[in-house]
Structure 1
Amino acid sequence: MALFDHDGIRFHFETIGEGPGIVFTHGLGGDMLQTKDLMGEVAGHRVLFWDCRGHGETEPVGPPEKFSFAQLAEDLGALLDHVGMKQTVVGGISMGAGISTAFAVRRPERVRALVLVRPAWVDQPTPENLKWLPQVTQLLEKAGPDGDMSRCRSLPEFAPFRDLSAELMEGLEGQLAKPKAHERRERLARMTRSCPITSWSEVEALTMPALVVGNEPDATHPIAMAEEWARRLPNARLAMIPAKSDMDAHRAGFRMHFQKLLEEIEGEVGA
């Protein structure tokens, strides 16, 4: 385990391999185990995995108001400086896709290629697909640090969740079961209200190669949102992969499309 001190936070990260850089960022409530599982080692490359502020082994939580795409993109830039990655393939899952985009908008010269896996945010706060997440913050606050799922179900604050689909209920239970979920509850509401971009024009100005990955069914990460991102990015390719319900196929599909992207950008360098 490696640690990096920045802005009063001790960030947990790991690099694997040697060669051109790749950084891959996890989703909301996740940690580097999520990204390491999906991407794994990449032959001939140095891959950086990290736990964002308020996630995984990164401590302390820090000020709640710093849960924003702008701040997490700044954290990412500082970490890339720390490990000496000057130009990098930048990507992530869900929230990690948003952080990657926010970084690319601010520092496009440092992004060799952009990889957005199951994007869930757009240019407006609290998109329809994420409206249930701020309510989880309220539920966690009421349940307290020792609240379990059975206690949560008995609370009045659970009422909005009773009609959730089985898929979204699984997502809710996953968020409630996260390590230190009560202590870190503000990340759900504040990140949902944050935006990785201020307008689509910022995305339309990004010229680096891009891969946008979606799957169905996924109510929190609608395929229409992946299609929108792929349309807006001038040099993007949309890839559809199997759903996470078949994790082996999901993982294999992602790795196939990601390897194709690497071959394309490295072929351009060698041309």
Structure 2
Amino acid sequence: MPKYETNGVTLYYEIHGEGVPFIFLHGLGGDCNQIKKAYNQMENIQLILIDQRGHGQSTVKWDDMNFYAMADDIISLTQYLAIDKFFIGGISMGAAVSLNFALRYQNKLLGLILIRAAWIDQPMNEELLQWFTLLEENLSKEDGKREYQKSQEIKEMKKKAPKTAESFLRFFDEKPSLHYHKKFVMLPNSKPIEDLTVLRTLQIPTLILSNDLDPIHPIEYSKILHKHIKNSQYYQIESKVISEELHKEQFNKYVNEFISEQLNL
């Protein structure tokens, strides 16, 4: 199992295929497997995956659990692997890390891919912070899953956002989420950029994808990113609430077309 040490943490990573490097980052509570299930890798692309700090098989340093440190983990990985130019992208939390990375290291990038943005220039909204706080509190308890399922909040979430409620419940059966539960309050209370004006400094080609019916990833956030990032393409794809199959199909279509376009394939 390939791992490397950087910035006080040990990080697990995977490399699949050969060709132009594409670092594709998972979301909050996920790991490399999230991307492998979601993404149909192109030929001539070297897919690089990483369990980000506090996720999967990687460790954590709580003093530096923020988007800046997570982006620095990625630049350390590229130096470790001797990769100079590459694509970077991510889903949700992975998109936030990718955005932070791009703003500081855009000279390294062939393109930026932001899927289902959950943050822009502020922490998550108050309702979402309450959802994640309740989740974290119960993940820290020995019998937390039972108490969580009995709560009025999760019952209301099931009505309002059934896919979100389903994903939150799965965290109780995953060791990294139980062991590193503090990430579920620390990251929702963080922000990947200081303000929207910094987005105008991005010059690299950027793909932005979002879908409606998803309270964790407000579609307005992706539209704001598109408005402020000059060289960006924006597409709305089908919500997983309506069709997971169509969501995945459209997700892969736009990602692989974007990469092909930048490489003139």
- Who is 1:36 aligned against? 36
Structure 1 pair 153–258 and aligned structure 2 pair: CA distance change class (3 A): closer
Instruction: Note if 1:138 corresponds to 2:131.
Output: no
Paired AA for residue 156 in structure 2: D
- Who is 2:22 aligned against? 22
Superposition deviation, residue 45 in structure 1:
1.3
Superposition deviation, residue 135 in structure 1:
2.8
Give TM-score scaled by structure 1 length.
0.89
Superposition deviation, residue 57 in structure 1:
1.3
Contact 1:29 / 1:175 at 8 angstroms: preserved in 2?
yes
Contact 1:124 / 1:195 at 8 angstroms: preserved in 2?
yes
Equivalent residues in 2 for 1:41-120, closer than 5 Å: 41-58=41-58, 60=59, 62-120=60-118
Superposition deviation, residue 56 in structure 1:
0.8
More displaced 10-residue stretch of structure 1: 92-101 or 82-91: 82-91
Coordinate RMSD, CA, aligned = 1.9
Find the aligned partners of 2:135 and 2:89 in 1 and give their Cα distance. Answer: 26
1:27-52: per-residue Cα shift (whole Å, max 9, x none)? 00000111122223221111101100
Paired AA for residue 220 in structure 2: A
Give TM-score scaled by structure 2 length.
0.91
Equivalent residues in 2 for 1:104-253, closer than 5 Å: 104-128=102-126, 130-131=128-129, 132-141=131-140, 143-144=141-142, 147=143, 149-154=145-150, 158-164=151-157, 165-167=160-162, 168-245=164-241, 246-253=243-250
Instruction: Note if 1:266 corresponds to 2:263.
Output: yes
The alignment of Structure 1 onto Structure 2 pairs a total of residues equal to: 260
Find the aligned partners of 1:129 and 1:214 in 2 and give their Cα distance. Answer: 20
1:41-71: per-residue Cα shift (whole Å, max 9, x none)? 221111101100110111x3x3322210011
Paired AA for residue 56 in structure 1: G
Find the aligned partners of 2:43 and 2:217 in 1 and give their Cα distance. Answer: 29
1:102-150: per-residue Cα shift (whole Å, max 9, x none)? 1011111011111001000010123346322133222222x23xx3522
Identity of aligned residues (%): 25
Contact 1:134 / 1:192 at 8 angstroms: preserved in 2?
no
What SS class does the counterpart of residue 250 from structure 2 fall into? helix
Find the aligned partners of 2:43 and 2:128 in 1 and give their Cα distance. Answer: 35
Structure 1 pair 153–129 and aligned structure 2 pair: CA distance change class (3 A): closer
